[in-house]
Amino acid sequence: MPTNRVTMRRIRETLRLHLQAGLSYNEVSRALKISKSVVGKYVSLARLRGVDWALAQTLTDEELEARLYRPALPRSSYQLTPDFAAVHQELKRPGVTLQLLWEEYAASNEPAYKYTSFCVKYRAWAQGLKRSMRQTHLAGEKLFVDYAGQTVPLVDAATGEITAAQIFVATLGASNYTYACATRRQTTADWIGAQIQALEFFAGVPRLIVPDQARALIKHPDRYDPQPNALYDEFAAHYGCALLAARPAHPRDKPKVENAVLVVERWILARLRNRRFFSLAELNAAIGVLLVDLNQRPFKKLPGCRHSAFQALDAPALRPLPAQRFELFIWKAAKVSIDYHVEFEGHYYSVPHRLVGQTVELRVTARLVEAFLAHQRVASHARSALRGQHTTVAEHMPASHRAHLQWTPAKLIDWGRRIGVSAAAVVTWQLEHRPHPEQGYRACLGLQRLARQYTPARLEAACIRALAIRSPTYRSVASILKTGLDRQPSLFPTAAPALPAHENVRGPDYYH
């Protein structure tokens, strides 16, 4: 309790500079050459006792001292000890400080601890907690994720083969609310799929996710600047959260999940040790039942349980889930072939023909195959499981190929039959004797142009002559029409010509 005028003058100056002049604690500290904590103590005392600058001016030093400092009570008279467990939980709320909690405690308790004693006693109490519980995590801030060391056997009912199911664990920093599930392995899809389920279990998104630097998630592990892979990056962007990978071989960076893994092993996996599971779904159903019991078990040193703490702390602070669930995908590089298609799992998907010879990135989901070049999407197709087949968009084709798209060999031969038997034979020859189908299509379209230019009857006559001279090419037919040879008597007057009998001529029925 101050007893000299220097101290009282310092108190008055502190109140004047802060309450009247509006200077900050730092500015008052520099002006009066006293510590910032002392400034805070004087201002807190005045606020607690209802003393503003106007009132302080009307009081003598003795009256101000009596108002700010009350006589010390004997140690035995202290009866209202702070509820440090509640204090510990309240500190997890955004913006809540020990200063604020002490002021609330002291305002309703006459024989209250002074601020310094309050802080010392709280820190001594907190030392009795486990290290993972001593850390103060803000509500809705961090989600810690990891896989347990223990596995659960899965029995194949058909073959009797036994595989080890992996156990994924996630826990929120403020409330310790815990999620667990089983996955087949620890692939990238397993890691991210389990985290999607965890976010849906919590019905919200934290600001940070803290994983291990597992190779399935981190492209370039590093103590200081780990780089997530593309899929994990897109997952984080989709849910609007950040990734903060723990340092390699530093389990104390994520003690929350280390402790949660132990709890899951003791309270869930230990209880399932004598059961046999024949499917992943069956195992996850059993884990889900025990997970409810785990989250409702009372804390030993804190009030409530994981579920109640989640409802009070994390649930209100989590961001809402996006409207659409994140869809898993894979990236694969693919070179565009000469036919402007790329291959994935035996099926061929078209891209714009101008990209022939270039390498694109395929983004493949369960439903879509998308092609990207320089981070720009250039094609998108429904995913197909038909091996050896093509999925082609007309806009991706060259103009000449697009014009041919409506034609098939059978349609072309049917058109030739409507002209005449010889025209059908010439069409068939084009389709069977060209090194590339497109060349045959183009020649047939040329024959159609000749029919429009010279009439179908003259085209049939020209085809008869071309077959007779054993040159049933488009160039020969066009030359015959141009020179008028089709109007001259036939070289070999016979009955109506038939398709040439030759083992290389398959006939029109082949194309139906």
Does 124 lie in the same domain as 192?
no
pLDDT given for residue 493 in this prediction: 53
**CATH code of the domain covering residue 303:** 3.30.420.10
Same domain for 259 and 366, yes or no, is no
Three-state SS at 366:
coil
**φ, ψ (nearest 5 deg) of residue 172:** -85, 140
Rounded CA-CA distance 233/231 in Å is 5
DSSP H or E stretch at residue 236 = helix 230-239
pLDDT reported for residue 70: 67
Position 23 scores a pLDDT of 87
Question: For residue 78, what pLDDT is reported?
Answer: 47
- 137 within some domain: no
Consecutive 10-residue averages of pLDDT for the chain (512 residues): 72 86 86 87 86 86 81 51 77 73 76 80 75 65 92 91 95 92 94 96 94 89 84 93 78 70 89 91 95 90 87 93 92 87 92 92 93 94 90 83 67 91 92 68 84 93 92 92 86 51 53 49
Looking at the fold, whether 175 and 291 belong to one and the same domain comes out as yes
Instruction: Count how many residues are written for the chain.
Output: 512
**Core vs surface per residue 102-130: b (16+ CB within 10 A) or e:** bbebbeeeeebbebeebeeebeebbeebe
- 391: how many CB neighbours lie within 10 A of its CB? 16
Same domain, 281 and 212: yes
Q: Is residue 324 part of a domain?
A: no
> Does residue 322 fall inside a structural domain?
no
Co-location of 50 and 80 in the same domain: no
In a domain, 100, yes or no: yes
d(CA 64, CA 51): 9
Of 268, 283, 317, the domain-final residue: 317
Phi, psi of 496 (to 5 degrees): -55, 130
d(CA 113, CA 101): 12
pLDDT at 200: 96
489/468 same-domain check? yes
- Token code pair at residue 40: 């805070």
Q: What distance in Å separates the CA atoms of residue 23 and residue 20, rounded to the nearest whole number? A: 8
Q: Which domain holds residue 52?
A: 5-68
Whether 162 is in a domain gets the answer yes
- Phi/psi at 206 (nearest 5 deg)? -80, 175
Same domain, 303 and 279: yes
User: Among residues 291, 317, 343, which one ends one of the domains?
Assistant: 317
**CB neighbours of 289 closer than 8 A, spacing ≥ 6?**
none
pTM above 0.85, yes or no: no
The SS3 call for residue 182 is strand
How many folded domains does the chain comprise?
A: 5
The closest alpha carbon to 284, from 202, 186, 166, 200, belongs to 166
Same domain, yes or no: 296 and 352: no
Same domain, 231 and 350: no
Q: Of 317, 350, 378, at which residue does a domain stop? A: 317
Same domain, 109 and 165: no
- Look at residue 38 and tell me if it is in a domain: yes
Separation between Cα atoms, residue 237 and residue 34, nearest integer Å? 48
In a domain, 175, yes or no: yes
Residues 82 and 178 in one domain: no
For residue 383, is it within any domain?
yes
Burial class (CB in 10 A: 0-12, 13-18, 19+), 41: middle
Mark whether 306 and 368 lie in a shared domain: no
